[in-house]
Amino acid sequence: MSKEITSREENYSAWYTDIVLKAGLAEHSAVKGCMVIKPYGYAIWEKMRDQLDLMFKETGHVNAYFPLLIPKSFLSKEAQHVDGFAKECAVVTHHRLMNDPNGNGVVVDPDAKLEEELIIRPTSETIIWNTYRDWIKSYRDLPLLINQWANVMRWEMRTRLFLRTAEFLWQEGHTAHATAEEAIAESRTMLDVYAEFAENFMAMPVIKGVKSENERFAGAIDTYTIEALMQDGKALQAGTSHFLGQNFAKAFDVRFLNDKNTDEYVWATSWGVSTRLIGGLIMTHSDDHGLVLPPKLAPIHAVIVPIPKASAEIDDVANNLTAQLKQKGFTVKYDNDEKRRPGFKFAEYEMKGVPIRIGIGARDLANGEVEMARRDTLEKSQVKLDHLAQTVEETLEAIQQNLYARSKAYRDHHITDVRNFDEFKEVLTQKGGFVRAFWDGTTETEEKIKEMTKATIRCIPLDSKEEEGVCVYSGKKANQKALFAIAY
């Protein structure tokens, strides 16, 4: 089975698609640009969603649900926002089909034209802030800390499974605050939540930073981002958190009486991560044998394969181990399907990235041991039965740590400081990854660099030191270094 996938070296993009399809994560649907998330892929999303949801609730947020459809006029109320989204909107114009009187089957009923067109939400700031107007009257109603799990749609022309699809699943937090300081603090808190999730659960190291004006969310004052690095040296924007200032409050006239009894516009944030994270997860850890999953997000932690087939003794060991590991919160699959041979099963679970595989054969069992294989390193070892549950647990922890350490070493090695534009271009084409360089802060320079190298400013890292220097492109005075990369 592993022979079927393209290697990363041969064709990175084909390798990625092969894994998505052959590990059974997702596939293209009959609707252009929309994907079907298959059960195994959805199980990973459920793990992500449950953990993120817990972290949102621990930071004081509650969930709600707002309409899928947004009146066209709402989108237009925030000028930058509509510029950012109008070009990729699915537009609902009618509410009924009918049988064609001329016998051409089912057609749109021209009498069911909507007075105002409705847009399938590309993001929900507008409909939510239109609702908040009624919910917020005084500072006592603030902060409002609300999140929504939903599907959204952006009509993308060039799509890739998980990374860029017309419809995707995500969460969008929309909070309302009495002061700018509080809203900024909220947007930073949620960026920290995203970074913690990426690093501790996805085992994917990220750089926290702020976007340049050019790369900001349409309607934001500041966009914070977590940026990850994929194995082909390209950056992936994995999550963003926006300080929206009073832009949406002004567009939708959301005011409150502050504690000095003065009328004031409300301050806003929004923040989101999506099924795109699954794309990042795949590209951070997987290898030429297939998917590699960090144990904390794996739908199955360990698979037990009888060799060559099940017996009463093997059943006992398998059931016993399953029960012990279940108690510790791990999911174990005992694959005793006799229609498929062990070698086939090994390849399949390798492809699906199950962190640990345990093979149980009669000879090993006679010695009181079984064979354990780690998916991350492909190492095999003999494990005594009386240590088995504990060894599996420790190994899962070791895999989680190893995946993070490995991807962090790779990422750290691919942050390169450059002093001039020749170096900039050389590093970008030869080595890839993040290029850190002085930037004069102008959109003009940023766009020139993009034009010449395809690299964009991923962020100004939040932990940057204040430095004085010379812009890598323009030679003008610069007081900050930006992180450039070619990005997904």
- Residues in contact with its own copies by the rule CB under 8 A: 29-31, 34-39, 42-43, 45-46, 62-76, 82, 86-99, 105-106, 108, 117-120, 127, 130-131, 140, 146, 150-151, 153, 155, 167, 169, 339
- Provide, rounded to whole angstroms, the least separation between the CB of residue 479 and its own copies: 37
Four-CA torsion 85, 88, 93, 96, nearest 10 degrees: -130
Separation of alpha carbons 116 and 123, rounded Å = 19
Of 412, 404, 402, 367, the residue nearest 385 (C-alpha): 367
Listed in sequence order, the residues at least 6 apart from 371 whose beta carbon sits closer than 8 Å to its beta carbon are 358, 359, 360, 361, 364, 380, 381, 382, 383
The residue (of 36 and 405) whose beta carbon lies closer to its own copies is 36
Token output for 324: 């012990």
Q: In DSSP terms, which residues pair with 106 in a beta bridge?
A: 99
The residue (of 67 and 475) whose beta carbon lies closer to its own copies is 67
The residue (of 149 and 410) whose beta carbon lies closer to its own copies is 149
Contact 194, 200 (CB under 8 A): no
- Provide, rounded to whole angstroms, the least separation between the CB of residue 455 and its own copies: 29
- Provide, rounded to whole angstroms, the least separation between the CB of residue 134 and its own copies: 8
Q: What burial class does residue 421 get, using C-beta atoms within 10 Å of its C-beta: 0-12 exposed, 13-18 middle, 19+ buried?
A: middle
- Provide, rounded to whole angstroms, the least separation between the CB of residue 87 and its own copies: 6
The residue (of 169 and 210) whose beta carbon lies closer to its own copies is 169
Q: In DSSP terms, which residues pair with 236 in a beta bridge?
A: 228
User: What is the residue whose two structure tokens read 């590990």?
Assistant: 23
- Provide, rounded to whole angstroms, the least separation between the CB of residue 356 and its own copies: 21
Antiparallel, parallel or unpaired: β 302-307 and 356-361: parallel
The residue (of 14 and 98) whose beta carbon lies closer to its own copies is 98
Q: In DSSP terms, which residues pair with 473 in a beta bridge?
A: none
Token output for 428: 């970008």
- Provide, rounded to whole angstroms, the least separation between the CB of residue 265 and its own copies: 20
- Provide, rounded to whole angstroms, the least separation between the CB of residue 25 and its own copies: 11
Q: What burial class does residue 423 get, using C-beta atoms within 10 Å of its C-beta: 0-12 exposed, 13-18 middle, 19+ buried?
A: middle
The residue (of 100 and 379) whose beta carbon lies closer to its own copies is 100
- Provide, rounded to whole angstroms, the least separation between the CB of residue 138 and its own copies: 11
The residue (of 142 and 403) whose beta carbon lies closer to its own copies is 142
- Provide, rounded to whole angstroms, the least separation between the CB of residue 159 and its own copies: 12
Distant-in-sequence contacts of 103-109, Cβ < 8 A, 24+ apart: none
Listed in sequence order, the residues at least 6 apart from 4 whose beta carbon sits closer than 8 Å to its beta carbon are 18, 22
Separation of alpha carbons 110 and 113, rounded Å = 6
The residue (of 113 and 419) whose beta carbon lies closer to its own copies is 113
Token output for 204: 């994917």
Of 194, 255, 173, 215, the residue nearest 51 (C-alpha): 194
The residue (of 91 and 409) whose beta carbon lies closer to its own copies is 91
The residue (of 337 and 467) whose beta carbon lies closer to its own copies is 337
- Provide, rounded to whole angstroms, the least separation between the CB of residue 191 and its own copies: 23
